[in-house]
Amino acid sequence: MSNYHIKNLEEYFQVYRKSVRDPETFWEEIAEENFVWQERWQQVLDFDLTVPRVNWFKGAKLNITENCIDRHLYAHGSKTAILFEPNDPSETSQHITYKQLHKRVCKFANVLKDQGIKKGDRVCIYLPMIPELAVALLACARIGAIHSVVFAGFSATALSTRINDCDCTLVVTSDGAFRGEKTIDLKAIVDEALGSCKGVKSVLVVKRTHSEIPMVENRDMWLQPLLDSASNHCEPEPMDAEDPLFILYTSGSTGKPKGMVHTTAGYMVYSAYTFKNVFQYREKDVYWCTADIGWITGHSYIVYGPLANAATTVLFEGVPSYPDWSRFWAIVEKHKVNQFYTAPTAIRALAKERLDFAENHDLSSLKILGTVGEPINEEAWHWYNDNIGKKRCPIVDTWWQTETGGIMISPIPHATPTIPTFATLPLPGIQPALMDEIGNELSGNSVSGRLCIRFPWPSMARTIWGDHQRYKDTYFSAFKGYYFTGDGALRDTTGYYRITGRVDDVIIVSGHNLGTAPIEDAINEHPAVAESAIVGFPHKIKGNALYGFVILKETGEQRDPANLRKEINQIITEHIGPIAKLDKIQFTKGLPKTRSGKIMRRILRKIACGETDRLGDISTLLNPEVVDAIIEDVL
């Protein structure tokens, strides 16, 4: 029996029990048998979750790109590593072999070096979904630079905040991006952002849209000529197991975004292990994850996990609706995709369209379907199962987070029987716990509570960049000795987990995690706005949509509400991006507040959801009378 590849339920239980009984031996065997190391570790695990301090494979030396590329060259050099499918279906797709990927990564790595980038430096990557994006990540990893990918849908303000937070000195971007029918001026956004990023010395620009763009002298350079003259050869930098591999920002419930730091060895081992098992990847399979590499799902399950397993991973530049809603299924047919991984919000959007978009394509290559990002509702699950998987493909409902680095709770296809809306069982090495509100762990089955993890796993984020205290406060303080996820969950009679959603102030809109605080901060900058509070409410396609309660200043009350609504969404678009726009904006005289001055979002949430008859106890409010006023005007 191999720990690395689980094939049936009995094996799962055996492996799981071993992983709990003796986590160190369990992970040590996996690390030893499935990766290449330049130097072996002295200790498998050293940790104290109260500090918190977590070290996996301490003392080991490795380079993740050697594991994702070099070691495959002998047996899989001519195999397609990255299968690029462009936005425009009439543009030819590209098959980048492991050999070609090796060359491209080495060249790019040398260009970074020529720009003075060295181990430990931070590089911001702001690119559309084109091969250079994956190559840029790997090129950073090759030389030990820490990449910080910023999703190319983010605004200039969001970009500059992230560049400054971790002091990036180099930015990789493109002239523009193709997204469906639109062409987006990415470089213009970067130029605007860099107006407030004094630390950035160079900008490397990939040519994609061939738009005319201004180049700033002594800062901006076209990438291609630099690549052309760079050497093919670049030795992989020896990295310590715990050297940071990347920073990826995620919204918090308060304040600025959190730069989650992932380190090298643990992240590699866990993303590779979970990719292999959750998607049951076999040598000739074509695997496709539709996420953007700007999110953790893209990092772990488009780039690192698949490449560490010598897989063929599809990289799609476009959107599901272009040229029409059959695009996903056309791609599945064209490339004979075997594993398909997407988000519930995409499934709901697709399910709303005509069925023949899917029916007109041959989907018989599909073996496994996956979902990630938010709870999947029963209706969407059945639509996916019936019309895409034709009831023959197991659906893996994978629960995890930016902070966890890899999939935590998920079925293993052909081992774990699936039930709609259940992420089912923890993967080997993962020890979930449910807690009640006063911090007691709930034992046994048929319980629900706050979802925590009781023991370290290799790919957990190690800190928040520049703010270890915040890392401790956010994840390790609510329940001493546990990692707190921020999610609620229930464990059913058989021990299966169902994730019920966030218990904090993060709202997931179309699979994007949005903190309410930054959106409120943006709105409050409008000269007519006094105060605001954002809550989520259920939305058929997006999962959740945003509802804003806004108190106007006196000057604002004289103004046309329709114009104000437009301006508020405009400010949000500028500060965060269009994904954070509000679906509903209600102007109100007051917000329900606790005596310590905190807005009671719980009440606003109920109002936004139309559950005004179940507001619960409002007697502790400072101003209970505003509640009735708000209900009267509800949209």
Residues of this chain that bind ligand 7RM (CB under 6 A)? 250, 295-297, 372-375, 397-402, 423, 485-487, 499, 501-502, 508, 513
12 alpha carbon, distance to own chain's centre: 26
Rounded Cα distance, 42 and 55, in Å: 11
Minimal distance, residue 500 CB to ligand 7RM, in Å: 8
Rounded Cα distance, 339 and 320, in Å: 17
H/E run at residue 524: helix 516-524
Nearest alpha carbon to residue 458 among 268, 248, 233: 268
Structure tokens at 74: 């002998």
Rounded Cα distance, 410 and 418, in Å: 9
Nearest alpha carbon to residue 496 among 579, 436, 422: 422
Minimal distance, residue 519 CB to ligand 7RM, in Å: 16
Please name the amino acid found at residue 172: V
Minimal distance, residue 248 CB to ligand 7RM, in Å: 9
Minimal distance, residue 311 CB to ligand 7RM, in Å: 19
H/E run at residue 333: helix 327-335
Contact (Cβ atoms closer than 8 angstroms) between residue 506 and residue 514: yes
Q: What is the largest CA-CA distance in the chain?
A: 73
Cβ nearer to ligand 7RM, comparing 373 with 577:
373
Any idea what DSSP says for residue 375?
A: P
Alpha helices in 59-168 (DSSP H): 64-68, 73-76, 98-114, 131-143, 156-165
H/E run at residue 188: helix 186-194
What is the torsion angle, in degrees rounded to the nearest 10, for the CA atoms of residue 447, residue 452, residue 456 and residue 457?
Answer: 80
Cβ nearer to ligand 7RM, comparing 52 with 373:
373
Structure tokens at 292: 């953007």
Q: What share of residues in the chain are helix, strand, coil (percent, to 5)?
A: 35, 25, 40
Minimal distance, residue 206 CB to ligand 7RM, in Å: 26
Minimal distance, residue 107 CB to ligand 7RM, in Å: 31
What is the torsion angle, in degrees rounded to the nearest 10, for the CA atoms of residue 370, residue 373, residue 375 and residue 380?
Answer: -50
Cβ nearer to ligand 7RM, comparing 173 with 402:
402
Cβ nearer to ligand 7RM, comparing 202 with 263:
263
Cβ nearer to ligand 7RM, comparing 253 with 612:
253
Minimal distance, residue 309 CB to ligand 7RM, in Å: 19
Minimal distance, residue 467 CB to ligand 7RM, in Å: 18
Nearest alpha carbon to residue 111 among 18, 227, 279: 227
Minimal distance, residue 289 CB to ligand 7RM, in Å: 11
Cβ nearer to ligand 7RM, comparing 266 with 373:
373
Cβ nearer to ligand 7RM, comparing 277 with 485:
485
Rounded Cα distance, 562 and 585, in Å: 10
Contact (Cβ atoms closer than 8 angstroms) between residue 225 and residue 126: no
Cβ nearer to ligand 7RM, comparing 63 with 398:
398
Cβ nearer to ligand 7RM, comparing 296 with 630:
296
Minimal distance, residue 344 CB to ligand 7RM, in Å: 8
Cβ nearer to ligand 7RM, comparing 84 with 497:
497
